Chains A and B, each alone.
Chain A
Amino acid sequence: MNRGAAPGIVARMEIRVLSPTGALGAGFKIDSLQRGVARRPHVIACDAGSTDSGPASLGSGAPKFSRDAVKRDLRLLLYARQTLGVPLIIGSCGTSGRDVGVDWMAGILREIAAEESLVVRTALIKADQAPEYVMRRWAEGRILPLVPAPPITPPVIQSSHIVGMMGAEPIAAALQEGAQVVLAGRASDSALFAVVPELAGADRGAAWHAAKILECGAACAVVPAADALLAYVRDGHFDIEPLDPAAACTPLSVAAHTLYENGNPFLLTEPSGVIDTTDATYLAVSDRRVRVCGSRFTPATQYSVKLEGARQAGFQTIAVGGIRDPQIIRRLGTVLPFARAYFDDRIADLFGGHVAPDSYEIDYRIYGRDAVLGPLEPMRDVIPHEVGVLITVTAQTQEVATKIATLVCHASAHLPIPGYHGIITTIAYPFSPPEIERGAAYRFTLNHVCLPDDPLEMFRTEMVEVGR
Chain B
Amino acid sequence: MTTLASMCHLIRSKNAGPFVLTFDLMFATRADYERAKRAQPLTPARLAALYQVPAELITLVYHDNALAIKASMPRPTVQGDPTDADCYGGQQYVPLLTIEVE
Contacts and interface: CB of A to CB of B under 8 A. Distances in A.
Interface in A226-276: 251-252, 255-256, 258-266
A130 interface: no
Nearest to A365: B85
A139 interface: no
Nearest to A444: B18
A443 interface: yes
Contact of B74 (A147, A363, A376, A444): A147
A378 B94 CA distance: 9
A51 B88 CA distance: 10
A424 interface: no
Contacts of A372: 85-86, 91, 94
A464 interface: no
A366 B45 CA distance: 30
Contact of B70 (A259, A313, A363, A447): A259
Given A252-B66, A363-B83, A371-B85, A262 B22 contact: yes
Interface string B51-83: 110000101010101111010101111111111
B55 to A, nearest CB: 14
Nearest to A313: B82
A375 B83 CA distance: 12
Q: Is the interface of B mostly helix, strand, loop or mixed?
A: loop
How many chain A residues sit at the interface, stated as a range, is 35 or more
A443 B91 contact: no
A255 B79 contact: no
A86 to B, nearest CB: 31
A392 B84 CA distance: 12
Most buried by B among A55, A251, A259, A392: A259
Contacts of A259: 22, 24, 26, 63, 66, 68, 70
Contacts, number: 119
Contacts of B80: 54-56, 442-444
21 contacts: A54-B87, A55-B18, A148-B19, A255-B66, A256-B68, A261-B15, A261-B16, A262-B22, A263-B22, A264-B72, A265-B61, A265-B66, A281-B65, A363-B83, A372-B85, A373-B92, A374-B77, A376-B92, A444-B19, A444-B78, A447-B19
B16 A263 contact: yes
B57 A147 contact: yes
A264 B70 CA distance: 8
A53 interface: yes
Most buried by A among B14, B20, B57, B83: B20
B61 A266 contact: yes
A46 B4 CA distance: 36
Contacts of A263: 16-17, 20, 22, 59, 72
How many chain B residues sit at the interface, stated as a range, is 35 or more
Nearest to B72: A263
Nearest to A443: B81
Contacts of A373: 91-92, 94-95
B85 A376 contact: no
A1 interface: no
A148 B57 contact: yes
Contact of A261 (B22, B59, B68, B82): B22
Nearest to B10: A256
B1 interface: no
B49 to A, nearest CB: 10
Most buried by B among A53, A150, A263, A441: A263
Nearest to A281: B65
A437 interface: no
A392 B82 contact: yes
A363 B81 CA distance: 12
A443 B18 CA distance: 10
A442 B87 CA distance: 12
A252 B57 contact: no
Contacts of B18: 51, 54-55, 308, 444, 447
